[in-house]
Each structure stands twice: as structure tokens, then as C-alpha cells.
Amino acid sequence: MNPLPRRAAVPSIALLLLLAACSSGKTEGPGKGTPVPDVPAYGDAIVEGSIGDVSGFLAAVTTDASSHEAAGYVFNGLVRYDKDLKLEGELAESWEISPDGKRITFHLRKGVMWHDGAPFTSEDVMFTYRRMIDPRTPTAYGEDFRQVKHATAPDPNTFVVEYARPFAPALASWGMHVLPKHLLEKYPDISKSPLNKKPVGTGPYRFVEWKTGEKVVFDASPDYFEGKPYIARVITRVIPDQATMFLELKSGGVDIMTLTPPQYVRQTETAEFRKSFNKYKFTASGYTYLGFRLSHPFFKDRRVRQAIAHATDKKALIDGVLLGLGQEATGPYKPGTWAFNPNVRKYPHDPSLSKALLAEAGWKEKDGALVKDGQPFEFTVLTNAGNEARAKTAAILQQNLAEVGVRMKIRTVEWAAFINEFIDKRKFDAVILGWNITPDPDQFDIWHSSKTGPKELNHVGFANPEVDRLLDQGRSTFDLEKRKRAYFRIQEILAEEQPYVFLYVPEALPVVHNRFHGIVPAPAGITHNFTKWYVPAALQKHRVQP
Amino acid sequence: MLRYIGRRLLLTIPLLVGISLVSFLMMHMAPGGPIGAGTDLNPRATAESRARLKAYYGLDQPLHVQYGRWLGRMATLDFGDSFSPDGRPVAEKIKERIPITLTINVLSMGLIFLVAIPVGVVSAVRKGSLFDRISTVAVFTGFAIPTFWLALLMMILFGVELGWLPISGISSLDYESLGTLGKIADRGRHLVLPVLLAGFGGLAGMSRYMRSNMLEVIRQDYVATARAKGLPERTVVFRHAMRNALLPVITILGLSVPDLLGGSVIFETIFAIPGMGQLFYQGVMSRDYPLIMGILTIGAFLTLLGNLLADVGYALADPRIRQG
């Protein structure tokens, strides 16, 4: 690798200074045999690779991951998820929930300033709430806020919301970024305000510039309420191609990115790579499933679904699709989190058991194929085009099912057509899709029998009175133990019923240049303490002068 | 001539309206819509929020009303605002992408002409020679090799191994701090690989075209006459044959006008170039109707303009056509 940063993130005069800094002969400099002192230091820049460009900085009106990530540097919510995916206060120092569970009182942090110097108060929270329910705001996230019956800001540091009935997911909805009233008041439509392009927030980083399709630059906010971040500058570069991004990483043009399983397993296991980079691995918040249309004549029968689960070789899927970097999914929750029930019925790969279950359901083997009432067991699985992992999953499943005499055809369709023509119209036999797993376990929209209408998310048509009741119970109490009991039971029922064959939970595979210290891997990933990451003075690569 | 040009220009107006109408209908016939990107499979998006978003973008109106509105705005050259969350004017989005796409296309087209014309001429003059055969293989190799693959190989060689050229993007991170010369040099270094690769892929068409034109012309009687007059071969080839063989190139140039602003999605994705190809691709994928319509209209206009320019240029260059 080239020792000098050829595409250094150095504003103004910095390049020469950088060279000078390298050769200024600090006593503990690298290459002198003495280890670099590992003490936090301010400075340096981190260059992130991102597949997609930002589409706006106001998270209320954007829906893509790149935009939300970028907005996270500049804005804060009242609450956030900590490293263990538990809610903690951010702009709210603390909160109280009334005994009947209907009222939440947030006590806001004092002395917080917007990046332009104006004070942050409960008026800003109130303004954000009003804009979230305003029909002129083009947001997809208004629903949680429309549940609020009444909101008040009794004093600058207190914000109170009342709900018609206790609603547990409500608390997490206050992670929505709080908007500066004094800057946005005069814009009836916040998406058209200049702040959507040049954000001003309360977060750890201040917006510097956004070059569309190229990069976004942020500088550390010196008066951030949790202390000035060590890394002085964050540059997010848009590199739409994974292979290109990886080459940029190797040549020093990118410091942090997410690896694909082949990159993680095959392309980074060299001594040279390890010399400069640290790889991390943690359970991703998502799972892939094979979902059945439950009104389909074949899949109405629970035994058939269980038979397909037994025919599925999840280990082969994980090895083939993820190169081993994942774990078997047994239900819709993330392994290791509080809502995850490890003791549900499992479906080990067992073709003979699968065949027995199919025979029990009336499927008889005839010339190597299964037949019932003169009809062969043949169906089509749909998945969206362009998702390589899902296409591979389909191919392996096809082979698994052929072993028990089930013929599965594969069809891939472009995303919008897939959703509108097939999923929404329920025109499918089975689908391979994935869900993100949110830290709050409420999955009312996915499993409740009332959510089977067009555009609603229970597209497989799952209906189970006990699950309906438990879903209601789980979301209407803040008592963690009660919620846990409800969700554990739901997982037992889902495992028994197999409306989906839950396939796998992949690993997230970030890689970071090893001059960045202070990274603490946790269930929430690695970026939860980003403001505490640092580069020891002697290792700093970019000289940033704000 | 001027009357002819004027008439042709007036004719483009109904043509443009027709093209835009067809584009508009096709776009709306495609499954999905602008609000799907954010609300499909989104547990937090309800039927109500979907209806609100539809009304917000005017998608609740009948198609003819939507088209009428768009046409009305277009009449004042207003492309409207993009449906993407940034809600920026379409004209602004297109404007910021044009310089880089135009630069790459002009440079690579220049490269193609510079290399392909001489290659084609020499191949024709020495038909069947070793040069002819080697160049044929070379240009077709360029045509056949998947560019994305070649691009990655070049990036590994020049970017990672040798470290001579930047891998992707259009400027270094310290671009703003460079002087004017430094900026030009930096931009140039970023453009080397994309331009070379875009040019390499386009050599085959142009050089083959030139070669067959030249073969055609060289058989003509006037070339035989020129030779019979005892003119040196150079003069025969370059003054008499090549000038005539170049005439059809005017047509190609005219037809290339719309290509100047059309970027290649694959190319721009691999090299992380924020150009027109990516803009259009993202527009289509997210069903950003105003953006799609804007780009299609510009493309249609440039195509019509290119055809007109080609016809006029041809008339100017070729007296036979001028009189006809």
C-alpha cells in the first residue's frame, strides 16, 4: 500500500502540515520500536463508504438507510437505543410513565444548544410532534404520533404526552429526531426547507457540505452535550459498487465499510490486510424467511409447512449463501435479545421425517414426485430481482425440496412490480423475503389477523386468535416481564404453525481501519459509541482544521 | 435554408408533445409508484399516510389532469420538483449532473474519433494486412470484454497495486484546497480510467464503420482517376478518398448528440461518478415521475436537435444533397 494518503481528507493547508507531522520526530512516533501510546486524542478524519447517496437530512421525510445514518450525526431524538438495544435517554435526561401507562413525562436535558447557538427547549419537541401529524408533512412515520391524544410542554424542560391507551412502542417512537422550531417554523412543508439539505441539529457533528452523489462532510461539534467527539471530521463517500468500495478500502480511500461474506472470508484473510484493518462481526438485525400464502390449497395444511421446514437444510443455506456467517432463525426475533425465546420447536434437516409428514397430509409418491388428488406438488417461489442472497437461497431450497419430491420453481421480479403485482394482490404461492428486526418486539402489523388487507404486512394471511390476543397484550403494557411472556408464547405458536419457515439471521460484517481505537463491539453493533472513537495522536492521518 | 430550419424546429413541438405523452403513459403503466419506495413493507406506514402522500404529490388526480399539469409547467420550461425526499427542482438536479457526464462523453468520443478513424482508414487501405487483422481483433476485444470486469482489473492494477491513479469518484477529498492547476490535474487523474474504458468499448463500431466507408469509396471511379493522374498515394487516400468517406460521419455525430448527456449506469456505478446515468436509474427505480419526465424530454429534444443538425451539416458538406 502507498504510505502517503493519496486521497487524503485534508482541508486547506493540511497536506504539507501532514507530511511535516509525520516526520517531526515525536518521541513515541511509529517505526521507532516503541508502541504508540493508546490515549484518546482529538483530530483526524474518518471516511465512510456508502452504497447510496443521502436523499435529505430530515429523517421524518426520508426513508432510506443512507439518509437516516447521515441525519444521525446531526440530530438527536428524545430517546435512543444503547449498546444492548435498550432504550436510554438522549435529549431526554429521563422519563416517567404514569401507573396507568397512558402518560409519558420526558425531562429534557438542560443547556443543550442547537448548532447555531439557539437553546433547545420543549417547544422544539412540541413543534416536531405537531409537524409529524401535520398533513403537509410528507412523512411515512406519522402514525405513531397520531396515537397521541394530548401533548403539553408545561415548562422549557418538560414534555408530556398522553395516549388513549397504554402503547408500549410509543416510547421508541420518540427516538424521532427533534427539529429546531426557530429554523423551521416558517416552512409549512419541512421537506422543502433548506434544513433538509443543510441541517442544523443538536447532535455530535455539524453539517459542513453535501455534494450530491459524491460525499457528505461533517465536523465535530465542540459543544456536544456528551462531550466533543474525538474524530474531528466524518466524510461519507458515495460508492455504489461494493467491489469498488473494497478496492478503495485497500488503497486507503475509505476507512470503514461493510464487507460482503466473500470479502470477509476470502479476500481479507491476508497478513497485509490484518496489518491495517480490524474486522468485526455481530448479529444483524434482520432475518430471511420463506413465507407461504396460507390460503393456498397446499399450504393450508400445517403438516405440509412443517414438512417443508424439515426438508430445509438451514445449515447448507448459511454455508452456501453466507459462507457460514449467520445463524439459523427460529422465529422473528434477534437471537440474544430480551424478546428472543430460545426454547421453541426446532426443525432439524430431516428429509425422511419431512416425507412422513407429507404422506400424513395425503401426498403420495408417484414416479419420484408427490401427488395428491391427481395434482403434483409443484409451486413457484417469488423473490425480488437483484438480491443475490435471496436468489441463492431459492436455489438451495429448490434442491432441498426436490429431495422430498416437491418441485419448486423460482421466479425473480423487479422490486416495485414484485410488491405491487404479487405481494399486494396476494398472487403468490410462496415468497422469499426478509424483515428487519426492530429493537421493540411489537410485530402487530406482521402477525395480527386484522392486518391482512391490501398493502398491509400480514401478506401470508396468518390468523391465530391466541397470537392476536398476545400481540395486543404485548403492546399495551410497559411491564417488561409481561411483554416478554407474551412474545415468548407468540414465538412458540409461530414455531409450531410455521407460517414462515424462518431461515437465517445474517452477521453484519463491518471493517474499520485499525488506527481507530475505542471501538467496543456490542449487540447493537460498533457505532453506538462513535463519538468516543479516537485515533492516537501519533497515528493520525488527516490534519483537520475547522 | 433558414426557412427549412425554422420549419423543422416548429415541427419538433408536436413531436415533443407526442413523445412526452407516450413516455408519461408508459411510466404510469409500470407497476409501483413514487410513494412505494418509502411505504412498501414499512410497518409504520398506514393506509392513511399513503393516501396523504398520494395527495401531497398530486397522484390522487386522474392521469389526464396530472399530464395536463406537467405540460402546463413544461410550457414555461418548469420541470417541477423531484419526488425524492430532498424535493429539489428537477432542473437543478439535472444541471449539476451534466458537466461531469458531458466531459466524460466528449472526451471519450474524441478519443474514439481520434483512434478509430485512422485505424479504419489504414485497415481499409491495407485490407487483409497484418495491421488490419490485429486491429480488427483488438477493437472487437474491446467491444466484447465486459467493461465492468475490465474496469475492476484496471482499478486493481493502477489504483491498488501501482497506486498511480485514483480508483473511483471524480475528485480527491482535498479537492477544494487545491489551486486551479491542481484541480485540473486532480480531475484529469480521476477521468483517465473512465474515459479510456468508455473509449475502448466504442472503438469497434466507429473503426468498422470508417473501414467499410473507405473500402466503398476507394473502389470509386474518381479514386481510380486520381491514381491514374499519377497523384501520390497519400494524396489519393487522404484528399480524395478519405474526405468522401468521412461524410457519413456527420450523421453519426448528429445522432450522438443525445448520447452526450446520457450516462452509462454500469460505468457510473463502478467508478462512483455522479452522472446522468445514475440519476436516471435512481429516478426510474424510485418512480420519481418528474425527474424521469424531465430527463426523457431533454433526451427527446436533443435527439430531434441532433437529427436536424446532422441534416443541416450534411447539406452543407455535400453539394449533391444541397441541390436535392
**Residue A185, pLDDT score:** 93
In the block, cell 427539529 appears at: A179
Using pLDDT thresholds of 50, 70 and 90, give the confidence band for residue B172: confident
User: Count of CB atoms within 10 A of residue A206's CB?
Assistant: 20
**Residue A35, pLDDT score:** 61
Backbone phi, psi, residue B103, to 5° = -60, -50
**Residue B244, pLDDT score:** 83
Tell me which chain A residues have a C-beta less than 8 angstroms from the C-beta of B41.
419, 423, 433, 457
Interface test with B, best of A12, A58, A139 (most B CBs within 10 A): A139
Q: How far is A405 from chain B (nearest CA, A)?
A: 33
Residues 6+ apart with CB under 8 A from A348: A310
Tell me which chain A residues have a C-beta less than 8 angstroms from the C-beta of B147.
none
Axis-axis angle for helices B147-154, A242-251 (nearest 10): 10
A246 phi-psi bin (left φ>0, alpha ψ -120 to 50, beta other): alpha
CA torsion sign, B36 to B37 to B42 to B44?
Answer: negative
Write a three-state SS string for A142-177.
CHHHHCEEEEEEEECCEEEEEECCCCCHHHHHCCCC
Q: Each residue of A182-208: pLDDT tens digit? A: 999 999 989 889 999 999 999 999 999
Is residue A3 predicted with pLDDT exceeding 90? Answer: no
Q: Which of A10, A215, A455 sits opposite B50 (nearest CB)?
A: A455
Instruction: For chains A and B, count residue pairs whose Cβ atoms are closer than 8 Å.
Output: 188
**Residue A36, pLDDT score:** 64
Using pLDDT thresholds of 50, 70 and 90, give the confidence band for residue B170: confident
3-state helix, strand, coil in chain B (%, to 5): 75, 0, 25
The whole-number average pLDDT for the span B180-207 is 88
The whole-number average pLDDT for the span B86-93 is 88
Using pLDDT thresholds of 50, 70 and 90, give the confidence band for residue A442: very high
Q: Does B169 touch chain A (CB under 8 A)?
A: yes
3-state secondary structure of A383: strand
Tell me which chain B residues have a C-beta less than 8 angstroms from the C-beta of A243.
152, 270
Mean pLDDT rounded to a whole number for chain B: 86
Residues 88-127 of B with CB under 8 A from A: 88, 93, 96-97
Rounded Cα gap, residues B118 and B138, in angstroms: 14
Q: Does B269 touch chain A (CB under 8 A)?
A: yes
Q: Each residue of A238-287: pLDDT tens digit? A: 999 999 999 999 999 999 999 999 999 999 999 999 999 999 999 999 99
Q: Does B270 touch chain A (CB under 8 A)?
A: yes
Q: Which residues pair with A151 in a beta bridge?
A: A161
Mean pLDDT rounded to a whole number for chain A: 89
Query: Which set of grid coordinates corresponds to residue B139?
Result: 477493437
Q: Each residue of A495-530: pLDDT tens digit? A: 999 999 999 999 999 999 999 999 999 989 999 999
Is residue B123 predicted with pLDDT exceeding 80? Answer: yes
Look at B44 and A53 and tell me if their CB atoms are within 8 Å. no
Rounded Cα gap, residues A119 and B25, in angstroms: 51
**Residue B40, pLDDT score:** 76
Using alpha carbons, list the distances in angstroms from residue B9 to B15, B208, B311.
10, 33, 12
DSSP 8-state assignment for residue A283: E
Helix (H) or strand (E) holding A309: helix A302-311
CA B303 to chain centre: 11
Length of chain A as a residue count: 546
Using pLDDT thresholds of 50, 70 and 90, give the confidence band for residue A546: low
Q: Does B42 touch chain A (CB under 8 A)?
A: yes
Residue A48 and residue A144 in contact, taking contact as beta carbons nearer than 8 Å: no
Rounded Cα gap, residues A475 and A163, in angstroms: 13
**Residue A32, pLDDT score:** 40
Residue of A nearest to B179 (CA): A12
DSSP state string for A386-415: T-HHHHHHHHHHHHHHHTTT-EEEEEEE-H
**Residue A34, pLDDT score:** 53
- Choose among B287, B283, B278, B280: nearest CA to B39: B287
ipTM surpasses cut 0.90: no
**Residue A148 amino acid letter:** V
Rounded Cα gap, residues A524 and A512, in angstroms: 16
Rounded Cα gap, residues B283 and B187, in angstroms: 27
- Choose among A311, A248, A368: nearest CA to A501: A311
Residues 6+ apart with CB under 8 A from B114: none
More confident residue, A66 or A13: A66
The C-alpha R_g of chain B, in whole angstroms, comes to: 25
**Residue B180, pLDDT score:** 87
Look at B152 and A6 and tell me if their CB atoms are within 8 Å. no
The whole-number average pLDDT for the span B121-131 is 89
* Range A140-143, long-range pairs (CB < 8 A, 24+ positions): A140/A63, A140/B38, A140/B39, A140/B42, A140/B44, A140/B45, A140/B49, A140/B53, A141/A60, A141/A173, A141/A176, A141/B44, A141/B45, A141/B49, A142/B48, A142/B49, A142/B52, A143/B44, A143/B45, A143/B46, A143/B48, A143/B49
Residue A124 and residue A180 in contact, taking contact as beta carbons nearer than 8 Å: yes
Interface test with B, best of A131, A197, A248, A425 (most B CBs within 10 A): A248
The whole-number average pLDDT for the span B133-151 is 89
Tell me which chain B residues have a C-beta less than 8 angstroms from the C-beta of A136.
56
Residue A363 and residue A377 in contact, taking contact as beta carbons nearer than 8 Å: yes
Interface test with A, best of B27, B28, B29, B44 (most A CBs within 10 A): B44
Is residue A335 predicted with pLDDT exceeding 70? Answer: yes
**Residue A92 amino acid letter:** A
Residues 6+ apart with CB under 8 A from A508: A258, A281, A282, A283, A284, A525
Q: Each residue of A373-409: pLDDT tens digit? A: 888 999 999 999 888 899 999 999 999 999 999 999 9
Rounded Cα gap, residues A103 and A159, in angstroms: 11
DSSP 8-state assignment for residue B161: I
Look at B152 and A243 and tell me if their CB atoms are within 8 Å. yes
Is residue A226 predicted with pLDDT exceeding 60? Answer: yes
In the block, cell 473512465 appears at: B194
**Residue A437, pLDDT score:** 92
Q: Does B156 touch chain A (CB under 8 A)?
A: yes
In this structure, what is the dihedral angle of CA atoms A131, A137, A140, A144, given to the nearest 10 degrees? Answer: 20
**Residue A248, pLDDT score:** 94
**Residue A24, pLDDT score:** 33
pTM of the full structure: 0.84
Length of chain B as a residue count: 324
Percentage of the residues of chain A whose pLDDT score is greater than 90: 74
Q: Each residue of B196-253: pLDDT tens digit? A: 988 888 888 888 888 988 888 888 888 888 888 888 888 888 888 888 888 888 888 8
**Residue A100 amino acid letter:** D
Percentage of the residues of chain B whose pLDDT score is greater than 90: 19
Q: Which of B52, B168, B174 sits opposite A244 (nearest CB)?
A: B168
Rounded Cα gap, residues B259 and B277, in angstroms: 11
Q: Each residue of A118-165: pLDDT tens digit? A: 999 999 999 999 999 998 888 888 888 988 999 999 999 999 999 999
